[in-house]
Amino acid sequence: MANIKDVARSAGVGIATASRALNGTGYVAPETRKRIEEAAQKLHYSPSVLARNLLRSRSGIIAVMVPTLSNPFFASFTQDCEQLLLGHGYKTLICCTVQPQNSEQDYLDMLRSNLVDGILTATHSFNDDAYRESGNPIVSLDRNLGGNIPLVSSDHCRGGLLAAEHFAFAGCRMVLQICGSDVQNGHLTVGEAHRSCREALLASGVKSEILFTDWNRWDFTYYRRTAAHCLDAYPEADGILASDCLAMHVLTEALQRGKSIPDELKIIAYDGTDTARLASPALSCIVQDTAQLARTAVDTLLARIQNVPIPEPPVCNVSWLQGTTCP
């Protein structure tokens, strides 16, 4: 495969001149540029994208950091981001941080070393200081990192109210809300959904209990155990609000125990990903628009990379998807 030296030799110019012509990084006389381009075409020369980007102090790579891809919400968000970034000429580095060895700090160090141009983070750790101190282009999904780092999120307050309205309309007397323990201190904006749901339920005379699951747990074995625990520990619950994966496990466990859905137990899934729509009976869902979340996050990050002033990102929509597990 031909390299820049071969092109320069064929065109009768120096390597620096050939590099300027092919990378567009400086002036080259039109006739000389034409000769260099013809030599490159004849030799089937393909410039190194990585080398060219590093020359411009950029990599052409965006890191998308998520806890795991086994969760359909993060998988959908990541895929949407990747497609959008590709349209802007960027490649995507997907970073799953649920395992201890895949630390967020390692990826932040990469950003400082110009190995990636920016980070979209949807992780659930508590090391916020490292982000605020980095001084690099970062956009956060659902995690309030503070400082001047833009936050992109859904209208979780509206999502919680929608869930409460449907539980109350269905005649529920006691609703169990299941969420991760990392929402307790307001660290994650999704906690607003559970707070608004609980407040609306109590105002309607419906009892509400919140069960906090282990921090940063995404495996299906844990979901299955949690579903069984919910039905054992809260036999009086006639409504359950949980993320898609956990809601599907609750549905399966309840059916195996002979419960009538939705007569004895109403279930609402929060996220409404395509995976949740495979459940039978069909899950009623609060739907987060991952395409809109990804578009908002990508547009915001690219503006930060280009140092373009941007307003606060808009709050993304949520909607109700009618299933048969809750009227």
pLDDT tens for 172-217 read 999 999 998 877 666 789 999 999 999 999 999 999 999 999 877 7
Mean of pLDDT over the chain: 89
pLDDT at 25 over 80: no
DSSP letters spanning 119-131: EEE----S-HHHH
The percentage of residues in the chain with a pLDDT greater than 70, rounded to a whole number, is: 92
Q: What would you measure as the largest C-alpha separation in the chain, in angstroms?
A: 85
pLDDT tens for 218-251 read 788 999 999 999 999 999 999 999 999 999 999 9
| CA R_g for the chain | 25
The pLDDT of residue 129: 78
Burial class of residue 199 (count of CB atoms within 10 Å of its CB; 0-12, 13-18, 19+): middle
Burial class of residue 26 (count of CB atoms within 10 Å of its CB; 0-12, 13-18, 19+): exposed
The pLDDT of residue 2: 80
pTM of the model: 0.82
pLDDT tens for 162-172 read 999 999 999 99
The pLDDT of residue 100: 58
Q: How confident is the model at residue 56 (pLDDT cuts 50, 70, 90)?
A: low
Domain architecture of the chain: domains with CATH: 4-47 (1.10.260.40), 61-153+292-315 (3.40.50.2300), 156-289 (3.40.50.2300)
Q: What phi and psi, each to the nearest 5 degrees, are found at residue 212?
A: -95, 125
The percentage of residues in the chain with a pLDDT greater than 90, rounded to a whole number, is: 59
Q: 98 vs 305, which has greater pLDDT?
A: 305
